Amino acid sequence: MKSFAALVIALGASTKTNDKLQALINYFGVADDADKVWVIALFSGRRPKRSVSTSLLQQWCTELTQMPGWLFQECYHTVGDLAETIALLLPPPQEQLIEYSLTFYIDQLKKMDKEDEEKKKAFITSCWMQMDTSERFVFNKLITGGFRIGISQNMMVNALAKMVQLDAAVIAHRISGNWDPSTTSFTALLNASSASDHSKPYPFYLAYALEDTLHEIGHPNEWQAEWKWDGIRGQLIHRNNELFVWSRGEELVTEKFPEYYSFKEYLPSGIVLDGEIICMKSTTEHSFQPLPFSLLQTRIGRKNISKKQLTEAPVAFIAYDLLEFEGQDIRHKPLVVRRSLLENIINKIPASCLQVSPIIYFSDWNELAALRLQARDNGSEGVMLKRKKSVYQAGRRSGDWWKWKIDPLTIDAVLVYAQKGHGRRSNLYTDYTFAVKDGDKLVTFTKAYSGLSDKEFTDVDAFVKKNSLEKFGPVRTVHPELVFEIAFEGIAASNRHKSGVALRFPRISRWRKDKKPDEINTLEDLKRLLHLYQH
């Protein structure tokens, strides 16, 4: 556990990619195989089920420290991280420090799930008193779940690739899919293949946002353009007469979309499609009209899908790439070859809820720029540009795939509530709630916590501390004086919000120091946008 704690601290403390990469390589070079597997699992989002609630952890910490609850909460709000707060507040260890492996602690925590509260308390507090501060912090993270330490899965894959002398793309594929770190050995994991696990997906290829001008990326003839659909990225796999659906977050979501089971009748076996899970209604056999993302949200997170939801939120799959054909990985083939095979397969299928993403034909960059302005009317977020000769890579790469999104919608609003942030902003008020006018009153409609510079966050924090009206736990109400432009990607009706609307990906676009509170937008302006863009 000491070596894993040291790794986590080193990764969190460094801002240099090479230093983080070397720390991972060093760890994988000395750790036990079982611990290596768990590190791969933890850093790729596979976390053990939480066996102890955060409220119990707080309670046991206050009992050990004899600290009143209100003081603990003040410390928590200042530090911004529960695991770190507890690690800092606990008294020095009073028992002899005993070294156990990472795997030992994870196994014990899994067993704790079925124990009563007293046994859980005895185990957790005993562990605390045998650990130093860094070990306590990491141990608490194992309990609460969530290692946000500034490393990407690509970085971990690159470290493994250097250690075992395999190509990074091969490693990325082998650690993807539905494997259990409790029963999978390190050797078996790195030697796995899709043949041994029919459900195994491929690592997703992700695009960067286009920041250069179109003329700087090359000649238009080198590129294929498609609409950027507003859904959930997914892979649809048909192998061994079984169908599997994976989300980009490597979650197996097959049962959430029963409409896809019919695809087994039409799709050949040994095939993997990359595409978009989206709500839509078909207009003709090979054309469709996307429906708002808010409809798809009604299906997300539900274990059982009702007949009403199947009718009101019909789900389809828009395929835009072919990764496996006849059981063979074809990611190394040029896009034009993969696209041709994809069209030959999908266009023969009568299932209207399985479509090929149409290509946008254009003769020059100016024409494409004009077509892009129609994106929102088409139910998309913009345009995807893909180099015709590109192979299908793993992870986020620049050069061959670009996303060129349309400009966001914006609304001017006033700051009314503020709350302290987390991590390095845990001592600053950086989480804000905004309101628009509704007659002579203000109506809250969204929250946002990104988009300002460090200096601007500091200035707003100072304003909040000087102009607070009331305090409700960690939240403060403030004089409605500061006006901000809020940018967002979409808008939907919502009966869960007082305003009646919900925004998609809201963030602060700019601080409107040139505007006064009586110049902000109105609730009617929001509803007008809702009417315009709700298909």
For residues 160-183, average pLDDT? 84
pLDDT digits over 253-262, tens only? 888 888 898 8
Q: What are the tokens at 478?
A: 């403030």
For residues 15-28, average pLDDT? 87
pLDDT digits over 70-119, tens only? 899 888 877 878 899 999 999 988 766 678 899 999 999 888 888 889 99
Q: Which of 228, 256, 386, 420 is catalytic?
A: 228
For residue 149, the model assigns a pLDDT of 64
Q: Do 204 and 210 meet the contact criterion of CB atoms below 8 Å apart?
A: no
Q: Which string of DSSP letters, residue by residue, matches 159-228?
A: HHHHHHT--HHHHHHHT-SS--TTT--HHHHHT--TTT-TT--PPPEEPEEP-S-GGGG--GGGEEEEEE
Catalytic (active site) residue 228: yes
For residue 87, the surrounding DSSP H or E stretch is helix 82-89
CATH 3.30.470.30 domain extents, the chain: 205-402
Whole-number percent of the chain with pLDDT over 90: 46
Name the architecture of domain 2-144. Orthogonal Bundle (1.10)
Q: What predicted TM-score, i.e. pTM, was given to this entire model?
A: 0.76
pLDDT digits over 175-218, tens only? 888 888 888 888 888 876 544 678 889 999 999 999 878 888 98
What burial letters (b/e) apply to 64-75, b meaning 16+ CB within 10 Å?
eeeeeeeebeeb
CATH 2.40.50.140 domain extents, the chain: 409-533
Looking at residue 116, the DSSP 8-state letter turns out to be -
More confident residue, 193 or 380: 380
> Which CATH topology does 409-533 take?
OB fold (Dihydrolipoamide Acetyltransferase, E2P) (2.40.50)
Q: How far is CA 521 from CA 192, 438, 487, 493, 498, in A?
A: 56, 9, 13, 18, 16
Q: How much is the mean pLDDT over the chain?
A: 88
d(CA 186, CA 36): 7
For residues 250-270, average pLDDT? 88
pLDDT digits over 499-523, tens only? 999 898 899 999 999 999 999 999 9
CATH of segment(s) 205-402: 3.30.470.30
Residue 241, pLDDT above cutoff 50: yes
More confident residue, 424 or 392: 392
For residues 435-464, average pLDDT? 93
More confident residue, 475 or 532: 475
pLDDT bin (cut points 50, 70, 90) of residue 284 is: low
For residue 194, the model assigns a pLDDT of 46
Q: Which string of DSSP letters, residue by residue, matches 399-433?
A: SSEEEEEPPPEEEEEEEEEEEE-SGGGTTSEEEEE
For residues 392-418, average pLDDT? 92
Q: CA neighbours within 13 Å on the CB side: how many for 23?
A: 23
CATH 1.10.3260.10 domain extents, the chain: 2-144
Q: Do 226 and 234 meet the contact criterion of CB atoms below 8 Å apart?
A: no
